[in-house]
Amino acid sequence: MRLRMFSVALGACVVIFTFLFVAPALVAPAAPAPSEAIAGPAIAPRLWAGSASSLNWAGYAVTAAAGSVSDVRGSWTVPAIQGTCPSTNQYSSFWVGIDGYSSSTVEQTGTDSDCRNGAPAYYAWYEFYPKPSRVVSSLAIHPGDVMSAEVSYAGGRFTVRILDTTTGASFGASAKVRAQRSSAEWIAEAPSSSGGILPLADFGTVSFGTDTTGVALTCDATIGGVAGAIGSFGSAVQSISMVTSGGATKAQPSALSSDGTSFSVAWVSSGP
């Protein structure tokens, strides 16, 4: 275990926040099976004025008081791998979830667009991190499919639901998790294995939200009993760019749409 630290500038002052986390080595390990490539908490977020950078996340988060996030919904179009897959395996995950921005658990569900053994691979999964991720083998995922997903909390349990609106197939699961419920997220991620962050597959651009998917009431969250689109949460909204340990951009989110529901994330480099 080691300490993760990041700072927020408040006028002339700098406040340092510290959280315990397991810090992975930033190296590319031997390629895992899909069930071993995991999405997890944001690694080393650096914050400033409504924006953040992370070694593994790109997209949007809404921060909140502990215990206040009860629901998050999102939609996205499964992006196709661009060009020819390289000989080394690469991965990209797209999901909605609760927690992970400033806490050590994440309750999430999403899809992957990967390069495995020189060929594209697409699949759905869910995860109650730090428990292992699980591939949803009952859903056959294809590039261009429109996904709708939700993570909710009630009665001490988290429930994940994911629907392929293109095919009509769906899946759900629930579990008891000790979690802060202090953030909601809509994320493109470079997932990790036990060896560290994996190379980010070239997914081109992924589009989230009602304006591009046509799925109503996404992307939105319920926080403190109040439901609203991402953009309705004002200063609690964080735009997150994915960067390498040297600060080079790996994936970049667009601005939110005028209705606060939609955005895209563009691939820039595989990293690490």
**SS3 labels along the chain:** CEEEEEEEEECCEEEEEEEEECCCCCCCCCCCCHHHCECCCCCCCEEECCEEEECCEEEEEEECCCCCEEEEEEEEECCCCCCCCCCCCEECEEEEEECCCCCCCEEEEEEEEEEECCEEEEEEEEEEECCCCEEECCCCCCCCCEEEEEEEEECCEEEEEEEECCCCCEEEEEECCCCCCCEEEEEEECCEECCEECCECCCCEEEECHHHHCCCCCCEEEECCEEEEHHHHHHHEEEEEEECCCCCEEEEECCCCCCCCCEEEEECCCCC
CB contact at 8 A, 214 and 144: no
pLDDT-based confidence at 36, cuts 50/70/90? low
**Residue carrying structure tokens 């109503």:** 216
pLDDT per position as a tens digit, 156-169:
999 999 999 999 99
Rounded Cα gap, residues 93 and 34, in angstroms: 11
**Which pLDDT score is estimated for 272?**
74
**Which pLDDT score is estimated for 45?**
58
pLDDT at position 203 over 80: yes
pLDDT per position as a tens digit, 86-105:
999 999 999 999 999 989 99
Kindly report the average pLDDT of the chain as a whole number.
85
Q: Is 156 exposed, middle or buried (0-12, 13-18, 19+ CB in 10 A)?
A: exposed
pLDDT per position as a tens digit, 256-270:
999 999 999 999 999
CB contact at 8 A, 162 and 139: yes
**Residue carrying structure tokens 């998050």:** 72
pLDDT-based confidence at 4, cuts 50/70/90? very low
Q: Which CATH number fits domain 37-267: 2.40.30.10, 2.60.120.700, 3.30.465.10, 3.30.43.10?
A: 2.60.120.700
pLDDT at position 125 over 90: yes
Q: Is 232 exposed, middle or buried (0-12, 13-18, 19+ CB in 10 A)?
A: middle
